[in-house]
Chains A and B, each alone.
Chain A
């Protein structure tokens, strides 16, 4: 009995130590989780990632005060549960205004070499400017946006911690870019399968993958690599429901007429509607476009031709595309408001 008391006390002490040890050893969540097989995250020298910058950027990303009327934040249109895409065909800006292109997913933007459907913007930092000042989106001046956050003591502290300065247009956009840079997605069932877990995909999905990467579907010509995009601009024969010059708007080169940036297909099942103008509601409609390809265009990419896919092939291809959904990405607490 006497030894029993000692035993219980020692056990309690051991449990306490273990608990303390666990508390001490629990590492802070990493700033960015880079999936296996992904390249090193590109980060510009002038805006190195820190926890303070990411936290500030996230707060700004979800702050509607960055829009003139206080109606819209970046996060109003880029929804985490939609892989940071917008379920609306055209995003709704201040006072209900809309543009003419569909908001893309923000997954893996850090790896892109240009931004927007026409690729006009070369860096995430510069990209952060455009939606704020766009009259159809947030319709704000950077000066006013900065003044609003500078009036909030919490923001002043966060800017000081992040950039050792008061809020400014340049630090505001850099902070937003820092947060967006952390939105990395690469833990889908396809990734598990690709890393050797043969049970991660069904037979149908595997057949769809064969179509995708084979000569039957030929999707891989453009949607290739770890991010399922070759980061180029292509005219895939899809003209949309309204005239859009695409890449030509930036380059002023007629040969770029109707070319748009090849988007990532990661989380594609979550990012409907599809194409640059969001005019295709479902993956079935997208596949149908590539099967029929009835839009002749002088700039049509040479690899484009009507696909010869059976009904089963189409279903299998779509089943494969759905394996690119990264459930952990859309539930990651680091990305929530």
Chain B
């Protein structure tokens, strides 16, 4: 009984000493409060906005190219890959593309299909801060993936958006259509079909958008403006290709015209950023 009382007394004493010590320290040497940097990654977005020059882009509606050719698009679809943000020094820092749930996308690749609003937002992980721009490629890279070039893998083994049935795959020459726009164009006062299907490794369109934007947290960081009219203008200002021209000018999946569309995509201001 005596022993228990002694232990109880000692415990009270110890608590008192600890409390006094803690109180004393707080009064004498309290350091200034430091807020740790926010190193968290947020799901930031580039929200796509598609235009045909100054006019809103609307499927099956009449658009007019800068050279005056009328066209009615019925599809606008493309892959985005090799996505990086530009740091304050302008150096690319790879950023992870994610889905609506914030889960990283396979191969760090996403797909934009105008008819699917869910695909009109590019989601990526980024820390808060100001960036000097972004870089990415329109297309499917040929980087080695599991020992094969991703652009040439067996598409029957792939899931959306790289599956065969996504209608972006060439069965006769296995590889993906990186970018496609198709529809009708006015040719000699008659609506005729046109399509530009751009693919093959050499036509991966590398795009660098040096427009500063700020990631303030989750949500929109910038608007990605897609101007389809600039597809038909070369970097030097030429009206080429011509969707209202001869069949060989408006039905394209390879050759010089496909090269030109890929070049226009990359260098004619088809895709820009707006903070």
Contact = CB atoms under 8 A, between A and B. Distances in A.
Interface residues of A, number: 24
B156 A116 contact: no
Interface in B158-195: 163-165, 170-174
Contact of A172 (B152, B156, B173): B156
A125 B200 CA distance: 20
Interface string B34-49: 0000000000000000
Q: Looking at chain A's contact residues, is the secondary structure mostly helix, strand, loop, or mixed?
A: helix
B155 interface: yes
B interface: dominant SS: loop
A142 B200 CA distance: 23
A134 interface: yes
A169 B172 contact: no
Contacts of A142: 156, 163-165
B155 A129 contact: yes
Given A142-B164, A169-B163, A252-B254, A121 B174 contact: yes
A126 interface: yes
A27 interface: no
Contacts of A207: none
Contacts of A150: none
Given A142-B163, A143-B165, A130 B172 contact: yes
B171 A250 contact: no
B156 A252 contact: no
A133 B172 CA distance: 10
A182 B174 CA distance: 23
A120 B172 contact: yes
A133 B171 contact: yes
A134 B173 CA distance: 12
Interface string A103-128: 00000000000001010111101101
A66 B4 CA distance: 87
Nearest to A174: B156
A321 B173 CA distance: 32
A143 B155 CA distance: 12
Contact of A250 (B155, B163, B165, B173): B173
A122 B156 CA distance: 14
A311 B59 CA distance: 64
Given A142-B163, A169-B163, A120 B174 contact: yes
Interface in A126-145: 126, 128-130, 133-134, 141-143
Nearest to A121: B174
B66 interface: no
A132 B26 CA distance: 77
Nearest to B171: A130
Nearest to A120: B173
Interface string A237-261: 0000000000001101000000000
A248 to B, nearest CB: 9
B258 to A, nearest CB: 9
Given A129-B164, A169-B164, A249-B254, A121 B154 contact: no
Contacts of A125: 154, 156
Given A169-B163, A169-B164, A126 B172 contact: no
A116 B255 CA distance: 20
A141 B165 contact: yes
B73 to A, nearest CB: 21
A133 B254 CA distance: 20
A173 B200 contact: no
A170 interface: yes
Contact of B174 (A126, A134, A143, A174): A126
B173 A123 contact: no
Contacts of B165: 133, 141-143, 169
Interface string B89-107: 0000000000000000000
A125 B156 CA distance: 9
A150 to B, nearest CB: 15
Contacts of B33: none
Contacts of A118: 172-173
Contacts of A122: 152, 174
Given A130-B171, A249-B254, 17 more contacts: A120-B172, A120-B173, A120-B174, A121-B171, A123-B154, A126-B154, A126-B155, A129-B164, A133-B164, A133-B171, A141-B165, A142-B165, A173-B156, A174-B156, A249-B172, A252-B254, A252-B255
18 contacts: A118-B173, A121-B173, A129-B155, A129-B164, A129-B171, A133-B171, A141-B164, A141-B165, A142-B156, A143-B163, A143-B165, A169-B157, A169-B164, A170-B156, A173-B156, A249-B172, A250-B173, A252-B254
Going nearest first, the 6 A-B pairs with the smallest beta carbon separation are: A130-B171, A120-B173, A170-B157, A173-B156, A169-B156, A141-B165
Interface of A: 116, 118, 120-123, 125-126, 128-130, 133-134, 141-143, 169-170, 172-174, 249-250, 252
Interface of B: 152, 154-157, 163-165, 170-174, 200, 254-255
